[in-house]
Amino acid sequence: MSPSVRLQEMIRVIRGARTQGEERGVIQRECAAIRAQFRQADNGTRSHNLAKLLYVHMLGYPAHFGQMECVRLIASPRYNEKRVGYLGAMMLLDEKQDASLLITNSIKNDLSHSSQYVQSLALCTLGCMGSAEMCRDLAPEIDRLLRASNSYIKKKAALCAVHIVRKVPELGELFTPASRSLLSEKNHGVLHGAVVLITELCERNPETLEQFRKAVPELVQIMKGLVMSGYSPEHNVAGISDPFLQVRILRLLRILGRNNETASDAVNDLLAQVATNTDSSKTAGSAVLYETVLTVMDIKSESGLRVLAVNILGRFLLNNDRNIRYISMTSLQKIVQTDHNAVQRHRGTIVDCLKDQDASVKRRALELSLALVSAVNIRSLMKELLLFLSSCPPELRAHTTSGIFNAAERYAPSQRWHIDTILHVLTTAGGDVRDETVPNLIQLITTATELHCYTVHKLYRALIADISVQSLVQVACWCIGEYGDLLLRGECEETEPVQVAEDDVLDALETVLQSHMSSPATRGFALTATMKLSTRITHNVDRIRSIVSIYGSCIDVELQQRAVEYNALFKKYDHMRAAVLERMPVIDKSSPGHTNGESAGGSIKEMEPTKRTQEVVLPQEPANQVCDLLDLLGGSGEPPQPSPALSTTMLGPVSSTAGGDLLDLLGGLDVTPVPPSVIVYEKNGVTLKLQTDRQTDTGMTITLTATNSTDREITSLTLQAAVPKSVQLQMKAPSGDVIPAHGLGQVTQTVLLNNPNKVSLKMRVRVCYTSQDFVCQDTVQIDSFPSPAW
Amino acid sequence: MLRFLLLFSRQGKLRLQKWFTPVTEREKKKVIREMTLMVLARPPRSCNFLHWRDLKIVYKRYASLYFCCGLEDQDNELLTLEVLHRYVELLDKYFGNVCELDIIFNFEKAYFILDEFLMGGEILETSKTAVGIAMEEAETLQEVTPPPPPPPLTHTHGHLSLTHLPKYVNMFSVLFTDNGGVYE
């Protein structure tokens, strides 16, 4: 075994290692030697070995095998061994380790040691890593030491008591009497410790807080003494006498004066004095002033004092030192709600700080600027914010954009300005905006009816310039689809109109569709916009038809489904196309809390699940569906009233895709013809109709509707169905089992068929009911199903 | 209260760590890594304050060492700058024109000085002289064991001649020009 080297020698050797591997080798050898030494009897080098181990630990290597050695060294009678042992305990042990309990006894003994330096070691260690049990054990000792005559011990005991109170708050009561008497000490160290202890006690216990309010005059006296005292070489820092103690006292006065008139009054004078007399040319003075300002703003101070405080912060804002500017903005942020006008006066300086090089200062300036936005300054402030956005660091961009949007929403002086601002943000930082921006912007555009022409021209220009920013492209596509006719008309009052041909517009949309930069959602937007244009342009409908049919075999399922359905719209439902693709009415701004929740009425409940799935698939076309379904149920010819629940359904799940263009559309649309339904059973006045809601290659959803034209109601209606073997059948709960008489109501039941093997679908339905006290039971066979509603 | 105090070199090597709350080893390593990354990435003339998780971070560079500490919400950042400066002054008084090498080779002394100045995350002693006096008296208590022979080519408690190891600049002399801040 190599003889152990001295600590400094070892450090030199480790530092001399040229590679990480070499270092590891040296350290492994040393640790082995140390471990061996630990196992041996006491040979006078134990403290050196532990010190070596602590160095190795600091480099990041494991050192847990030294824990027991720490315990042993702490118990040693030699001071230097105790010292290193306690240091090791603070570095290697914490309250989670079991070994920490073993030193409790040693600490207890050392707290009563004759030498104050041994006592201080124990106090320091207890105050650093004492666990709750250790604290409980030793608290009476600490209390005793608080009353000792030795200042050196008293100050350490005070901070040790602080640690105990933090770990075991109930023990606070134990220390309250002693801490009160410590306030009359002259020694600054003890005084400081006492103030910290009292602060901790008051923060945790409101009754103690009440008690210590009586100490406010005493504290004011101490503070005055510090401020007015002459030069003291021991405590002087840059012309301030003991700034550490001053700041602590101010903090305690803040806690005592909060929400209390009397205490606040007592300190008003003092605060004014400190605020005016403190020299803030160096950091120490600024620290004291800063604490003073915080105290003034937090207690019930008189208004003159508050104004003084805000002015001090304003002065700080103009300081050359970045730290002080940062501090002042942090404080202004805290008071901007309560003293808004006072802070507004410094708006100019704050906005200038947006241009500072330092990232921390920029961040603070941004937060403060956003808090200062008001209806009065919105235009000028927004200019600055937009300028900031173009050059701001990437980590701040998301925050900036959402802040700008909030501000614009609350204080926009005009709709055009609002739209312009949002477009500006999207062009500059479109990648960092939140998802709701797209639907919000679309909703905003639809409400600004006079600006449709202007908006679509602007967006078209933006689109042909750059298609990489997804949010902007989505909004642009939506607008072009919706207002394409305004674009093609080529005239606009508000802005220079773009002279485009239909081909150009379709080119632009196709570029978006084909670009690899476009996200799937964006391509969905583009496809739907292309489709919408088929009713707004005159010449190139064939081109649109071909685009749509190409995407019918797209790999993306969403796009494929859309394309297939649009294709069907061209082929089979061409007569409906114009109505389906009509201009959207104005969208209501509804809160995001309403999603597909409540159904508007019992009879629609059945329709909800199928309708909802349809909505998610075809966000652009729901008007038609909803209209049809309601038509079926209502049985009347006029457009049904939009129900609020229905109208708010869509914002939730489809926000990232269609965004906002759903709800409340039933107003202006034509009533489209009822989808075909087949009567499968008619007997005894009971009619059973079958309607196909959805049909795919591997399944379908049908709805069976039973009506009653007799004079008396039909009761106990049950429907049962049977299907070929490979087909799976699921019958949803019926809406009821009683059919009112005279056709005044009906019972519906949805049936889901899953046909994975694609056999020809047949279904046998058994109808059971009680009519005029007769129980009837019939079976019908259904061989062919009507084509789906859409 | 302070949550932690770290000293690390410009290469990110840790020279001193003091934790004022119980933290697991794993968490300690994580914090050290993040602090090192954050602070070393800061450009020279920037603000000394940062925000990290729910703590305020105050850092100051003295020659080749970064002093970095984490504060709670209530603490005064400007005062903490003074705390860091006071600690450097104490080290300087004890070691005599302290530099990074002193702290490397005598790390346990640096800890002892720190323990006389701060405890439990709070300032223990505000007097400039009291800490030095306490350290001297404690040294006399140490039993007389033969001091280790001064290793060649490094220095003991004396002043380090700048010609020997030019990269370890005296920390204190740089105080007057560091970071644009002006001290006494």
- Residue A622 binned pLDDT confidence (cut-offs 50, 70, 90): very low
Can you tell me the mean pLDDT for B94-120? Answer: 93
Taking a C-beta distance cutoff of 8 angstroms, is the pair B4, B70 a contact? yes
**Among partner residues B46, B78, B105, which is closest to A283 by beta-carbon distance?**
B78
Q: Give the pLDDT of residue A651.
A: 36
User: Is the Cα torsion angle B82, B85, B91, B92 positive or negative in sign?
Assistant: negative
- Residue B16 binned pLDDT confidence (cut-offs 50, 70, 90): very high
Q: Is residue A292 scored above 90 in pLDDT?
A: yes
- Residue A788 binned pLDDT confidence (cut-offs 50, 70, 90): low
Q: Is there a contact between B47 and A129 if contact means CB atoms under 8 Å apart?
A: no
How many Cβ contacts (< 8 angstroms) between chains A and B? 175
Q: Is residue A68 scored above 50 in pLDDT?
A: yes
User: Residue A215 corresponds to which tokens in the numbers above?
Assistant: 């100490």
Q: Is there a contact between B142 and A7 if contact means CB atoms under 8 Å apart?
A: no
Q: DSSP letter at B125?
A: -
User: Residue A461 corresponds to which tokens in the numbers above?
Assistant: 């220009």
Q: Give the pLDDT of residue B78.
A: 95
Can you tell me the mean pLDDT for A230-259? Answer: 91
The string over A225-234, giving b where at least 16 C-beta atoms fall within 10 Å of a residue's C-beta and e elsewhere, is: ebbeeeeeee
Q: Which of A570-579, A672-681, A771-780 has the lowest mean pLDDT?
A: A672-681
DSSP per-residue letters across A455-471: HHHHHHHHHHH----HH
Q: Give the pLDDT of residue A750.
A: 86
**Among partner residues A127, A234, A357, which is closest to B119 by beta-carbon distance?**
A127
C-beta neighbour count of A665 within 10 angstroms: 21
Q: Give the pLDDT of residue A735.
A: 83
Can you tell me the mean pLDDT for A97-103? Answer: 81
Q: DSSP letter at A525?
A: H
Q: Give the pLDDT of residue A468.
A: 85
Backbone angles phi, psi at A483, to 5 degrees: -115, 25
CA distance A624 to chain B (A): 51
Taking a C-beta distance cutoff of 8 angstroms, is the pair A159, A194 a contact? no
C-beta neighbour count of B108 within 10 angstroms: 19
- Residue A771 binned pLDDT confidence (cut-offs 50, 70, 90): confident
Helix count (H) and strand count (E) of chain A?
A: 35, 10
Average pLDDT, chain A: 82
- Residue B143 binned pLDDT confidence (cut-offs 50, 70, 90): low
Can you tell me the mean pLDDT for A439-459? Answer: 85
The verdict on pTM exceeding 0.90 is: no
Write out pLDDT tens, residues A150-173: 899 999 999 999 999 999 999 999
Give dist(CA A461, CA A368) in Å, integer: 35
**β pairing state of B55-62 and B49-52:** antiparallel
Residues 6+ apart with CB under 8 A from B116: B124, B125, B131, B134, B135
Give dist(CA A542, CA A55) in Å, integer: 80
Q: Is residue A592 scored above 80 in pLDDT?
A: no
Q: How far is CA A41 from CA A69, A394, A405, in A?
A: 12, 61, 73
Q: Give the pLDDT of residue B67.
A: 96
CA distance B72 to chain A (A): 14
Q: C-alpha A282: how far from its chain's center?
A: 39
Q: Is residue A619 scored above 50 in pLDDT?
A: no
Q: Give the pLDDT of residue B173.
A: 54
Torsion of the alpha carbons at A58, B89, A246 and B77, rounded to the nearest 10: -50
H-assigned helices in A130-228 = 132-146, 151-167, 172-182, 188-204, 206-213, 216-228
Q: Which residues of A touch B122 (CB under 8 A)?
A: 159, 162, 193, 196
Q: Which residues of B touch A192 (CB under 8 A)?
A: 123-126
Most confident of A18-22, A619-623, B157-161: A18-22
Which H/E stretch holds residue A775? strand A774-782
Q: Is residue B120 scored above 70 in pLDDT?
A: yes
Give dist(CA A81, CA A119) in Å, integer: 14
Secondary structure in 3-state letters for A295-319: HHHHCCCCHHHHHHHHHHHHHHHCC
CA angle in degrees (0–180, nearest 5) for A173-A178-A181: 135
Q: Give the pLDDT of residue A635.
A: 37
Q: Which residues of A touch B123 (CB under 8 A)?
A: 192, 244, 248
User: Residue A141 corresponds to which tokens in the numbers above?
Assistant: 């000792």
Q: Is residue A465 scored above 70 in pLDDT?
A: yes
Give dist(CA A477, CA A463) in Å, integer: 8
Give dist(CA A294, CA A297) in Å, integer: 5
Give dist(CA A23, CA A401) in Å, integer: 50
Q: Does B29 touch chain A (CB under 8 A)?
A: yes
**Amino acid identity, residue B36?**
T
Q: Is residue A347 scored above 50 in pLDDT?
A: yes
Q: Give the pLDDT of residue A768.
A: 87
Residue A430: which of A399, A473, A465 has the closest Cα?
Answer: A473
Q: Is residue B18 scored above 90 in pLDDT?
A: yes
Q: Give the pLDDT of residue A222.
A: 93
DSSP per-residue letters across A106-133: HHHHHHT-SSHHHHHHHHHHHHHH--HH
Can you tell me the mean pLDDT for A480-497? Answer: 80
Q: Minimal Cα distance from A288: which residue of B?
A: B79
Write out pLDDT tens, residues A116-156: 999 999 999 999 988 899 999 999 999 999 998 889 999 99
Q: Which residues of A touch B126 (CB under 8 A)?
A: 188-189, 192, 235, 242, 244-245
Give dist(CA A419, CA A108) in Å, integer: 72
Q: Is residue A300 scored above 90 in pLDDT?
A: no
Q: Collapse the DSSP code of B50 into the 3-class scheme (helix H, G, I; strand E, B; otherwise coil) and give the result.
A: strand
Q: Does A242 touch chain B (CB under 8 A)?
A: yes
Q: Give the pLDDT of residue A166.
A: 94
Give dist(CA A496, CA A493) in Å, integer: 8
Give dist(CA A718, CA A700) in Å, integer: 21
Q: Does B168 touch chain A (CB under 8 A)?
A: no
Q: Give the pLDDT of residue B168.
A: 47
Mutation for B interface: A117, A126, A201, A293, most B CBs within 10 A: A117
Percent of chain A's residues with pLDDT above 90? 25
Q: Give the pLDDT of residue A634.
A: 37
Q: Is residue B153 scored above 70 in pLDDT?
A: no
Q: Give the pLDDT of residue A490.
A: 74
Which H/E stretch holds residue A679? strand A677-683
The string over B4-31, giving b where at least 16 C-beta atoms fall within 10 Å of a residue's C-beta and e elsewhere, is: bbbbbbeeeebbbbbbbebbeeeebeeb
Give dist(CA A198, CA A176) in Å, integer: 8
Q: Is residue A472 scored above 70 in pLDDT?
A: yes
- Residue A626 binned pLDDT confidence (cut-offs 50, 70, 90): very low
Q: Give the pLDDT of residue A598.
A: 35
Backbone angles phi, psi at A437, to 5 degrees: -60, -40
Burial class (CB in 10 A: 0-12, 13-18, 19+), A414: exposed
Can you tell me the mean pLDDT for A220-236? Answer: 89
Q: Which residues of A touch B125 (CB under 8 A)?
A: 155, 189, 192
Percent of chain A's residues with pLDDT above 70? 88
**ipTM of the prediction:** 0.82
Q: Which residue has the higher pLDDT, B161 or A532?
A: A532
Q: Is residue B127 scored above 70 in pLDDT?
A: yes
User: Residue A662 corresponds to which tokens in the numbers above?
Assistant: 């759903």
Q: First vs last Cα of chain A: how many Å apart?
A: 89
DSSP per-residue letters across chain B: -EEEEEEEETT--EEEEEESS---HHHHHHHHHHHHHHHHTS-TT--SEEEETTEEEEEEEETTEEEEEEE-TTS-HHHHHHHHHHHHHHHHHHHTS--HHHHHHTHHHHHHHHHHHEETTEE----HHHHHHHHHHHHHHS---PPPPPPTTS--SSPPPTTTSTTS--TGGGGGTGGG----
Residue A186: which of B127, B158, B102, B135 has the closest Cα?
Answer: B127
- Residue A230 binned pLDDT confidence (cut-offs 50, 70, 90): confident
Q: Is residue A435 scored above 90 in pLDDT?
A: no
